[in-house]
Amino acid sequence: MLGNKHILLQFSNTMKDGVSMGGPRIRSIGLAVPPYALRQDDIKVFAAALFQKKMDNLARLLPVFDNACIAVRHLAQPLEWYAEPHTFAETNQLYEKIGLELAEEASRQALEQAEIACEDIGAIIFVSSTGIATPSLDAKLIQRLGLSAHTIRIPIWGLGCAGGVAGLARAAEMAAVSPGRTVLMVAMELCSLTFQRNDFSKSNLVGAGIFADGAAAVVLSMDGDGPEVLGSQTTLFADTEDVMGWDVVETGLKVRFSRDIPSIVRRYLSDLLNQACERWGVARADIRHYVAHPGGAKVIDAYAESLGLSPETFASAYNILENYGNMSSASVLFVLQRLLMTGSPSGDYGVMLALGPGFSSDQVLFRW
């Protein structure tokens, strides 16, 4: 049984019924993807050709591409690039260059939609786990966007797929404790650059079957319209470092999957949400919106089964998975943006859900 430790993070605004009143607002969401849009069928053919003489069980594993429920993914490089050997230094240079471009594009969209001047941004939260940079990319992004040299910088690395929800929670906390400060939160991932052409493990093939690239940016402040962020919870499971993460090898970051993540979701998610709702003072039956990180079709299925909800409840997550794949931390913000674009505000509660390395679970409560 997984042991767990809970850390509850809740905003300190005026409280009523266990949740904050007048919480930070999500003013806008900007999205960006690289130009190489590739069909899942073509990526499957590519992977089969690349690994056919290297993996004895390839025929048994290739259906992961078909069962992923993905039609299209956007990658940082053309498909043939992934067939060639590359050093960690080479791929990381691309991570910095292309990642900064996508982060800038998403950020400019978000700022324009929110009608926020660049000089009004007081803090930036930058989330990413698929490359390294020191100084972190937020330093360059501040200068690209023309933000104040006094902008508070909080780079977050290593949260993987949970980073979008966790980063949004940290951004909302920053906005809540500094009412006059507008916060820009950016999640940028280039998962495809971590592909290891000489890694013939199941984990690498699974990663090749679902991971993609993209960036999302969110503007939050204490004023304006948009979903109101009310609280958050993060849970770290003890002694579960092996569930997912990176192994650092000569050629870069090698993906690690060693347990059945959907089974973990089915076993623990319902109790985790019950605990969060109790602490927030919100009845679980009052939650109407579910924004889940689309980690894979089986993971989304497990969310629905664990919470006793219909698959249609997670329609936005399935849609983003189908059209973009798993972009790690950025994906859940694509899901949130789709919910906002396809629905109408009703004043109901919603929850954002994601899992990531640690092994950990992150949840954000909002009202929209």
Dihedral in degrees, nearest 10, Cα atoms 87, 90, 91, 94: 180
Residue 333 identity: L
CA separation for the pair 259, 242 (Å, rounded): 8
Please, which residues have CB within 8 angstroms of residue 196's CB and are 6 or more apart in sequence?
Answer: 204, 249, 251, 252, 254, 255
Task: Read off the DSSP letter of residue 201.
Answer: S
Distance in angstroms (rounded) separating the CA atoms of residues 282 and 87:
50
What is the distance between the alpha carbons of residues 290 and 171, in angstroms, rounded to a whole number?
A: 20
Half-sphere exposure of residue 74, counting CA atoms within 13 Å on the CB side? Answer: 20
- Do the beta carbons of residue 227 and residue 313 sit within 8 Å? no
Residues 187-206 as b/e (b if ≥16 CB within 10 A, e otherwise) read bbbbbbbbbbbebbeebbbb
Q: Distance of CA 157 to CAs 98, 130, 150, 170, Å?
A: 18, 9, 22, 13
State how far the Cα of 231 lies from the Cα of 294, in Å rounded to an integer. 22
What is the CB neighbour count within 10 angstroms for residue 112? 12
Cα dist from 270 to 8, 229, 274, 275, whole Å: 16, 21, 6, 9
The residues annotated as belonging to the active site are 161
Q: For residues 141 and 178, what is the distance between their CA atoms, to the nearest angstrom? A: 22
Q: 359, 243 in Cβ contact below 8 A?
A: yes
Nearest to 213 by CA among 90, 365, 342, 331: 331
